Structure 1
Amino acid sequence: MKTLLLSFAGGFLALILFFIALPIFILTLVSGNASDVAPKGAVILEIDMRYEYPDQKPTDGLASLFGQTSFVDILTKLDRAATDDHVKGVVLRASEMGFGSSRAEEIRSAIKKLQANDKFVLAHSQGFFVGGPAAYRAISASDEIWLQAGSDLSIPGFSLETLFLKGLFDNLGISAEIEAFHEFKNSPNVYKETDFTESHAKAMRELAEGLWQVSLIDIANDRADKMADNAILRDVLENSPYSSDQALDLGLVDKLGWPEDLVRHAMGLAPNAELIDIAQYTPKKIADKAPKIALIGGEGGIMPGSSGGDIFNPNAEQIIASDTVSSQIYDAGKDESIKAIVFRVDSGGGSPTASDQIWNAIEYVQNTYNKPVVISMGSVAASGGYYISMGADKIYANRATITGSIGVYGGKFALAEGLRKIGVNPSRIDVGGPYASIYTSTERLSEQQRATMRASLARTYDRFTRLAADGRGMSQEALHEIAKGRVWTGVAAKENGLVDELGGLIDAIEGAKQLAGIDADKQVNLVSMTPEQDPVQAIGSMLGASAQSMHTLNQLSQIMGDERIQATIMQIQAMETQPNQMAAPVIKEY
């Protein structure tokens, strides 16, 4: 009994420490952090690209407490650093395992602007192993690329891999009762096929070739003093991996050395400078009277409702919640001091109704307040991600952005056969018409139910293509020919009229200035429409476990960390709440 009481007391004390002492400690830590100030002396900025930055700053839970740096933060800070006399240069630590082609493109553009303003940019890599050309492309414009001796450089091509689950489903007695509009809407193929269909393979092959091609062009231009043209570069890269000595001889890197050697070299170029992480850099404050542009962020799956995460669901803030984002758009529209809106979209889509709600908010602000809305597409803005973008006054996409996927799919997973294999017999009583259990039953769809579901999907697809055609100034028939659920690179999307300009976030901001009648040489205040939580709110949301949170925790415990599996599970979860989905296929670069 004594042991039992001691164990109970110990457990109770642990709960007190977790729910009371830990929040107090975190609050003290946060409140003790001095706010960053603009540098008074010379600085060299350091960026570690091996870290997986979220596209936009988290606003809920633990991550929001510590002011986690986002990729958008990096882009806006580098843009300001280019004209900051205190900043003498930038040191980059390259990723070894992939970086994302679209992100590589935006970092490369930032490097070129820094160099145009007489800032040096030095990069160090401890080897390029897997992940396609993006990690190397991100730093290829650097003044010098250093590679650690003894490491390899491997950039042999581009690979897009898909995990097909139909074989597993067949073994488990699960049928994916899912229909798609149209032949290139390949997301459901994960559940319905054992390999690529002809249309799926065509879309993925051309996507990979397009991404590989723009990568080769950029790298060839950046290494022009070493390589004759991109055809020669392609041959060189496709025959990798190379040792560090071979990479040096081929002109793929400039020097061999340790990370510390590069830092010492950088400090020698600016002897009185201080090396600081990009997170600690705060540009000089722009005058309050400067014109204002609202910056709204949308990252992750598109879902109805409001955003918010908790300790059991740390990625919950990485969704585009339609109520929250729409409210931010309306607030920016009503604010007379805000002259334009830049909406950064990084999403493979999700709920059609949630996407429609955000599209409508943009339309309302444009028509009611005559305020321009400009889209900056991140790594992916496809399916629902394209839906929420299509009504904007101008759409910017990187050449390597994955976009399009104008289509819809829907249905359910029929589990009855599998359940009967293990002795569970689903049986139901329906009252009403033949569609009472169309999405809830574990049985396969009847032909009548399937026809009804297809009619619903056809209406959604018709609305999507009609609104997209209106937004892009083309006929619905012409839009349909480049829709059909097909994904495109930013280059192909521009050729097909789906986007207006090729460029990143900084280009989109300049475009918004132009539409708002703001002089090109004028600095603007970027106003985030996402309110930051105070520490007490963050602790509250972090500890706010619910039944849904426990359900999510149980599911997360069964996955092995592969982002494709995580994305697949998220798609299945989404279909549980809304059977029709506007979601692009899960694409992982290699």
Structure 2
Amino acid sequence: MTDYVGGQERSRLTVWQFFRGLAKVVVGGALFLQALLFIMVFAVLLSVLGSFGDQMKGKNEDGPSLKVPEGAALVFNPSGVLSENAPEQDPFEQALQEAFGGGSVGQVSVHELIRVIEHAKNDDRIQLLVLDLGGLVVPDAYLSKAHILADAIEDFRESGKRVVAVGDYYDQNQYMIASEADTVLMHDQGMLFFTGFGSFRTYYASMLEKLDVSVNVFRVGTFKSALEPVLRDGMSPEAKEANLTYLNGLWNSYTTRVDENRSFTPGATAAFANEFSSRLEAAGGDIAQAILDGGYVDDLADREAQRQFIKDIVGENDEGELNTVKLKKYKIGIKSPQDREDVKNIAVVTVEGAIIDGPQEPGVASGTYVAKQLREARKDDDIAAVVLRVDSPGGSAFASEVIRDELLAIKKAGKPVIVSMSSLAASGGYWIAAPADRIFAQPTTITGSIGIFSYLPTFEKLAARVGVNVDGVGTSPLSSIRGIPLAELPEELRTILQLNIEDGYEEFLTVVAEGRDLSLERVDEIGQGRVWIGSDAKERGLVDEFGGLPDAIAAAAKAAGLDEWDVVGLIKEKTRFELFLESLAGEAQAYGLISDDDELFVSRRTGFERTTLGAAAKLIDDELRFQRSFDDPNGIYVRCLECPIP
């Protein structure tokens, strides 16, 4: 389009031409950035590929090497939430994130960490294990994982090798692991609090009442306090009794271990926690000094002094740096065991997170996906037995039953099924455990919670308050359900739901009674939605033996009559290309092309959650994720909401 001004032709820019031109600029800029990124990545690849072959053999004399030096210290500094299994990540994406400073703290597998420690124990090049646990997050609910990690460190120390713990500060659960060290060092401005364990929830029954939200709850179980937040403004006496029982069990296991590791008299740590204010007053308000006076650390030392302590043991390398190898680099050289064609396999299938009926996503266990794994294990002639590793508070009753059906089919096919409970195996987690031939748990495993509930909020009163009403006609008493959630539940539906819940509870009792060879009356007595700690669950017949995953695998092999076996399914084997990319990332790090986040004392936690606002935001995010996990097609759940889920 043109205009004529002063007898001259002038082009007039239309809105469409403006945005079309802007789009060209944006697209052109994006293409330029893409090309620039490709050049940068290609430059990184070229800079390390030249020495890649020699570096893999540890023979490069012109630059840094990934070869483990003799007499070195392994810096054990995992970063992330201590979990059953770390989620799979695309190796190329991970390499790019590391190369350009991206990525975030996620999860770290306790089994992979244990495998590293066991390898280092038998590695003559490693003489010292340095625990730098500042980046390891251990939720209270995962205390049993901290215990088995501590067991591995204890085994390393008992082999005759030394263990030293260093850090600016320790949180309570980090310290339990660190207490396994021969020497525990802490910064002179550091701190350590023994807070014990607690169960605190947010109750909003009054808020829902003020908002005119109708709470429709259907449940069975005296101790099934899962829905108390929407029914009460505080914890019921029954819930307090049940929760305090298992919390005392967790606290007793914690303090007992610390007392033993620090050679204290029994009960010393519990007493220290109860008297901390007076201990602090005696130390002049200096927390670090109070911890030292209490005997929980061996010395207070700043970062340089802690480095010097390690240097006095392992010395320095040719570059004048500590003679250490970092966890990330050390892991690269550890080969995963390869399956042997001439022996049978034990399949380990993991159920981690809330059990849902929908598609699999991080942090949850899809009933369909787990059942598919179990079905493949049943049909595979090379698999002689199955170990079900359970780390779940339960969830969808329907999805739990889908998993149990496959377990029963495996047993019918003549293959033993052994359950290994991790930190949580409650409610639906116990539903799927009950049919097993044997159940292994840790003394600190949280289990039980044999109960069932349904919860359907409706908003008819809130809608009416703003002038919205639902009305209509139908051909049966249930026709009005088409108006939910802006219409109240029909009385007929209330009756149906409650009857269905009661029937579901009876089915839960039957599942446990048949699986554990107990009477229905006995299961009901220890059921009623009550949560038990592993030690109490064993006394009540819900658990057979104490032991970890290796014990369960050995029991499965024995039940299958195997003298030799391989384990499949626990850790996904990496392809040669994936191993190449991991090594490439390690090479780039060694050359300083990417940052070394494995340096001693580097904080690897995000600071956001450590602020009041960040903690509040996390609560909201956790609640949203929690609500999304309720997807049972029948609206019926066997889930332990009392459990301290991280």
TM-score range, shorter chain: 0.7 to 0.9
Matches within 5 A, 1:167-206: 167-206=206-245
Amino acid at match of 2:447: T
Amino acid at match of 2:75: E
- Structure 2 counterpart SS, 1:413: coil
**Structure 1 residue 495, shift from structure 2 partner:** 1.4
Q: Does 1:277 align with 2:311?
A: no
Q: Does 1:449 align with 2:488?
A: no
Among candidates 375, 383, 388, match of residue 343 of structure 1:
388
Deviation track 1:177-222 (CA, whole Å, cap 9, x = no partner) reads 1111112111111222111112111111212211111111111111
Change (3 A) 1:424 1:138: farther
Q: Find the aligned partners of 1:373 and 1:90 in 2 and give their Cα distance.
A: 37
Q: Does 1:91 align with 2:130?
A: yes
- Bigger shift: 235-244 or 273-282? 273-282
Matches within 5 A, 1:119-518: 119-128=161-170, 133-224=172-263, 227-230=264-267, 232-240=268-276, 242=280, 243-259=287-303, 261-266=305-310, 268-271=312-315, 274-278=324-328, 280-281=330-331, 282-286=333-337, 288-289=339-340, 292-307=345-360, 316-368=361-413, 370-427=414-471, 429-434=473-478, 437=481, 440-518=484-562
**Structure 1 residue 341, shift from structure 2 partner:** 2.4
Deviation track 1:129-184 (CA, whole Å, cap 9, x = no partner) reads 5xxx4232222222221111112221042222111121221222212211111121
Amino acid at match of 1:269: I
| Partner in structure 2 of residue 571 of structure 1 | 627
**Structure 1 residue 280, shift from structure 2 partner:** 4.3
Matches within 5 A, 1:494-573: 494-519=538-563, 524-528=566-570, 560-563=616-619, 566-567=622-623, 569-571=625-627
Change (3 A) 1:237 1:13: farther
Q: Find the aligned partners of 1:577 and 1:466 in 2 and give their Cα distance.
A: 22
Change (3 A) 1:318 1:116: same
CA contact (8 A) 2:513 2:523 kept: yes
Q: Find the aligned partners of 2:465 and 2:446 in 1 and give their Cα distance.
A: 41
**Structure 1 residue 329, shift from structure 2 partner:** 1.5
Report the TM-score, using the length of structure 2 for normalisation. Answer: 0.75
- Structure 1 counterpart SS, 2:215: strand
Q: Find the aligned partners of 1:430 and 1:17 in 2 and give their Cα distance.
A: 63
**Structure 1 residue 302, shift from structure 2 partner:** 0.8
Percent of pairs identical after alignment? Answer: 24
Unaligned runs of 5+ residues in structure 1 are: 308-315, 536-557
**Structure 1 residue 277, shift from structure 2 partner:** 1.3
**Structure 1 residue 233, shift from structure 2 partner:** 2.3
| Partner in structure 2 of residue 311 of structure 1 | none
Amino acid at match of 2:337: I
Change (3 A) 1:576 1:228: closer
Q: Find the aligned partners of 1:504 and 1:23 in 2 and give their Cα distance.
A: 47
Matches within 5 A, 1:105-124: 105-124=147-166
Q: Find the aligned partners of 1:185 and 1:29 in 2 and give their Cα distance.
A: 57
Change (3 A) 1:573 1:325: closer
Change (3 A) 1:466 1:45: farther
Amino acid at match of 2:626: M
**Structure 1 residue 356, shift from structure 2 partner:** 0.6
Q: Find the aligned partners of 1:297 and 1:141 in 2 and give their Cα distance.
A: 28
Q: Find the aligned partners of 2:200 and 2:403 in 1 and give their Cα distance.
A: 31
CA contact (8 A) 1:57 1:64 kept: no
**Structure 1 residue 112, shift from structure 2 partner:** 1.5
Change (3 A) 1:180 1:372: same
CA contact (8 A) 1:406 1:484 kept: yes
**Structure 1 residue 252, shift from structure 2 partner:** 0.8
| Partner in structure 1 of residue 62 of structure 2 | none
- Structure 1 counterpart SS, 2:129: strand
- Bigger shift: 271-280 or 354-363? 271-280
Amino acid at match of 2:334: P
Change (3 A) 1:528 1:13: farther
| Partner in structure 2 of residue 546 of structure 1 | none
**Structure 1 residue 358, shift from structure 2 partner:** 0.8
- Structure 1 counterpart SS, 2:276: coil
- Bigger shift: 415-424 or 62-71? 62-71
Change (3 A) 1:567 1:82: farther
- Structure 1 counterpart SS, 2:180: coil
Q: Find the aligned partners of 2:472 and 2:246 in 1 and give their Cα distance.
A: 45
**Structure 1 residue 331, shift from structure 2 partner:** 1.7
Highest Rg: 1 or 2? 2
Amino acid at match of 1:193: R
CA contact (8 A) 1:430 1:437 kept: no
Q: Find the aligned partners of 1:28 and 1:527 in 2 and give their Cα distance.
A: 37
**Structure 1 residue 409, shift from structure 2 partner:** 0.5
- Structure 2 counterpart SS, 1:206: helix
Q: Find the aligned partners of 1:523 and 1:146 in 2 and give their Cα distance.
A: 42
- Structure 1 counterpart SS, 2:239: helix
Deviation track 1:52-95 (CA, whole Å, cap 9, x = no partner) reads 24431313779985697423322333344434444433222235
Amino acid at match of 1:297: T
CA contact (8 A) 2:473 2:480 kept: no
Q: Find the aligned partners of 2:175 and 2:482 in 1 and give their Cα distance.
A: 50
Change (3 A) 1:391 1:21: farther
Amino acid at match of 1:334: K
**Structure 1 residue 267, shift from structure 2 partner:** 5.1
Deviation track 1:527-585 (CA, whole Å, cap 9, x = no partner) reads 448688999xxxxxxxxxxxxxxxxxxxxxx9954358624652365158541111111
- Structure 1 counterpart SS, 2:405: helix
| Partner in structure 1 of residue 7 of structure 2 | none
Amino acid at match of 2:635: P
Unaligned runs of 5+ residues in structure 2 are: 1-14, 58-65, 96-105, 281-286, 318-322, 579-613
Q: Does 1:8 align with 2:23?
A: yes
**Structure 1 residue 448, shift from structure 2 partner:** 3.1
CA contact (8 A) 2:81 2:107 kept: no
CA contact (8 A) 1:302 1:384 kept: yes
- Bigger shift: 90-99 or 57-66? 57-66
Deviation track 1:212-265 (CA, whole Å, cap 9, x = no partner) reads 1111111111111xx2222x3211122236511221121111122245544553
- Structure 2 counterpart SS, 1:286: coil
Matches within 5 A, 1:574-585: 574-575=630-631, 577-585=633-641
Among candidates 146, 151, 160, match of residue 104 of structure 1:
146
Q: Find the aligned partners of 1:475 and 1:14 in 2 and give their Cα distance.
A: 72
Deviation track 1:35-58 (CA, whole Å, cap 9, x = no partner) reads 999976555433335622443131
Q: Find the aligned partners of 1:24 and 1:11 in 2 and give their Cα distance.
A: 20
CA contact (8 A) 1:162 1:587 kept: no
